[in-house]
Copies of this chain bind each other. A is one copy, B any other.
Amino acid sequence: MAQPIPLRHAQDLLKASCHQCSLSNLCLPLAVGEGDLARLEDIVYQGRVYNRGDHIFEQSDRARSCFAVKSGAVRTSIVNENGDEQVTGFFLPGELVGLESLSGGDYACTARALERTSLCEFPVDKLEQLSGALPDLQHHMFHLMGQEIQTGHQMAMLLSRNTAEQRIAALLLSLSSRFQRRRLSPTRLTLPMPRSDIASFLGLAVETVSRVFTRFQKQGLIHAQGRQVELLDLPALQAVYRDNGEDAPRCQQHHSQG
């Protein structure tokens, strides 16, 4: 049942046409010049569509590819030796999942679709080969991986130094700006993940996440209806993230009560 790489039918093995992709300015194609784009298209497969819960790759399977999200959303998670799982990332359209697979060996995490999702698949060996030939692509891969390392450090900071409120504010703000990057509303979001995934990702209990959502709502920072979230006061959320309980607000912005 669980295939390392999903079985594909012939008609699914479509060469992707980055030229026509609306995400090309967010995704790998942005790294290569018009002239070399064809060579990137040569190695990419437009994969099948995944339904909610479908696994894209599984921890410990041989790492063959990394994936770009075309539509939908992906979450990655790792399971430690004790068997408990932690969500390690959420990936939205235009973002690359499984960059660690470039380390060779096996996938260090499991990737699943959070909703109906379509992906482009980049076989690591070909991607590596092409990177050797296209300095711009190599540069961009280094860039992306470096970013991912930095994100990890930010995450460590968030997890070890920040309160539940700050962590959730940070996540909402991150999602907001990533939505904006795609020219979607930065204030009206539909969260692709359940509260439990948010909790796992932020190192909190589900109950805490729920409580913070209601607290934010009561404070007028957000309006949340299940997965529909409206960010009513971005500056205030930023303030929460920055100096949650701190007495002295650094800037002139302070959020309204009620």
Chain B residues closer than 8 Å to A191, beta-carbon distance? none
The B-contacting residues of A in range 208-258, CB under 8 angstroms, are 242-243, 246
Count A interface residues, CB 8 Å.
48
Q: Which B residue's beta carbon lies closest to that of A137? A: B132
Stretch at the interface among A8-16, A33-41, A50-58, A151-159: A151-159
Given contacts A159-B160, A203-B160, contact A138 B131 (CB under 8 A): yes
Q: Which B residue's beta carbon lies closest to that of A147? A: B103
Secondary structure at the A interface, as helix, strand, loop or mixed, is helix
Please give the count of copies of this chain that the complex contains: 2
A88: CB under 8 A from chain B? yes
Which of B146, B155, B156, B160 contacts A99 (CB under 8 A)? Answer: B146
The distance in angstroms between the C-alpha atoms of A3 and B256, with both chains bound, is 44
The distance in angstroms between the C-alpha atoms of A135 and B141, with both chains bound, is 14
Chain B residues closer than 8 Å to A155, beta-carbon distance? 152, 156
Interface centre among A109, A129, A147 (most CB of B within 10 A): A147
